[in-house]
Chain A
Amino acid sequence: MRYAMAVDTKKCVGCSDCVVACQTENNVPIGFCRDWVVEVTDGTYPQLEIELRSERCNHCANAPCVRCCPTGASHIVEGGIVLVKPNKCIGCGACIASCPYDARYPHPKGYVDKCTFCIHRVKEGMKPACVAVCPTKCMYFGDLDDPNSEVSVILKKRKSKTLIPEAGTQPQLYFLI
Chain B
Amino acid sequence: MNEELIISGRENLMVDPQLHIWHWPIPLYLFLGGLAAGVLFFAALYYLLGKEEQYRAAVRRVPFIAPVALVLGLAALFYDLNHKAFFWQLYTTIRIQSPMSWGAWTLLVITTASFIWCALHIREFFPRWDWKYKWLKDIEVFFNKNKKPLAWVILIFAIITGVYTGILLSAFNARPLWNTSVLGPLFLASGLSAGAASIVLASKNREERLLFTKIDLIILGTELFLIVHMFMGFLASTQVQQEAAQLFLGGPYTMVFWIFVVVLGIIIPGVLDLMELWGKHIPALIPGVLVLMGSFAFRFVFVFAGQVSRWLY
Please give the residue numbers on chain A whose beta carbons come within 8 Å of chain B beta carbons, in ascending order. 14, 16, 19, 31-33, 35-44, 64, 67-73, 86-94, 96-100, 102, 104-106, 109-112, 163-164, 166-168
Report if A38-B15 is in contact (Cβ < 8 Å); known contacts: A64-B174, A69-B95, A88-B89.
no
What are the 6 A-B residue pairs with the smallest beta carbon separation, nearest first?
A91-B82, A91-B83, A110-B83, A100-B174, A70-B101, A105-B12
Per-position 1/0 for B1-27, Cβ under 8 A of A:
111111111111111100101100000
Report if A90-B6 is in contact (Cβ < 8 Å); known contacts: A33-B12, A110-B82, A167-B173.
no
For this complex, 6 residue pairs linking A to B, each with C-beta atoms less than 8 Å apart, are: A16-B7, A37-B6, A40-B5, A89-B86, A97-B174, A102-B15
Chain B residues, CB < 8 A from A43 = 1
Stretch at the interface among B61-69, B214-222, B305-313: B305-313
User: Is the CB–CB distance between B173 and A68 below 8 Å?
Assistant: no
Report if A33-B10 is in contact (Cβ < 8 Å); known contacts: A90-B83, A110-B82, A111-B83.
yes
Interface size range on B against A: 35 or more
B97 within 8 A of A: yes
Residue from A38, A71, A163 in contact with B7 in the complex, judged by beta carbons closer than 8 Å: A38
- Quote the shortest CB–CB distance from A98 to chain B (angstroms): 5
The A contact surface, by secondary structure, is loop
Chain A residues, CB < 8 A from B10 = 33, 36
B146 within 8 A of A: no
B175 within 8 A of A: yes
Complex alpha-carbon distance, A73 and B92, angstroms: 11
- Quote the shortest CB–CB distance from A136 to chain B (angstroms): 15
User: Is the CB–CB distance between A70 and B13 below 8 Å?
Assistant: no
The B contact surface, by secondary structure, is loop
Chain A residues, CB < 8 A from B12 = 31-33, 102, 105
Please give the residue numbers on chain B whose beta carbons come within 8 Å of chain A beta carbons, in ascending order. 1-16, 19, 21-22, 80-87, 89-90, 92-93, 95, 97-101, 103-104, 171-175, 238, 307, 310-311, 313
User: Is the CB–CB distance between A90 and B13 below 8 Å?
Assistant: no
Complex alpha-carbon distance, A166 and B239, angstroms: 12
Residue from B3, B9, B83 in contact with A89 in the complex, judged by beta carbons closer than 8 Å: B83
Complex alpha-carbon distance, A70 and B8, angstroms: 32
Chain A residues, CB < 8 A from B7 = 14, 16, 37-39
- Quote the shortest CB–CB distance from B16 to chain A (angstroms): 8
User: Is the CB–CB distance between B172 and A64 below 8 Å?
Assistant: yes
Q: Which of A31, A97, A106 has the most CB of B within 10 A?
A: A97
- Quote the shortest CB–CB distance from B175 to chain A (angstroms): 6
User: Is the CB–CB distance between A71 and B19 below 8 Å?
Assistant: no
Chain B residues, CB < 8 A from A97 = 19, 21-22, 172, 174-175, 307
Complex alpha-carbon distance, A90 and B98, angstroms: 14
User: Is the CB–CB distance between B21 and A93 below 8 Å?
Assistant: yes
- Quote the shortest CB–CB distance from A172 to chain B (angstroms): 16
Complex alpha-carbon distance, A96 and B23, angstroms: 13
Residue from A68, A71, A164 in contact with B311 in the complex, judged by beta carbons closer than 8 Å: A164
Complex alpha-carbon distance, A67 and B307, angstroms: 19
Residue from A16, A64, A70, A96 in contact with B95 in the complex, judged by beta carbons closer than 8 Å: A70
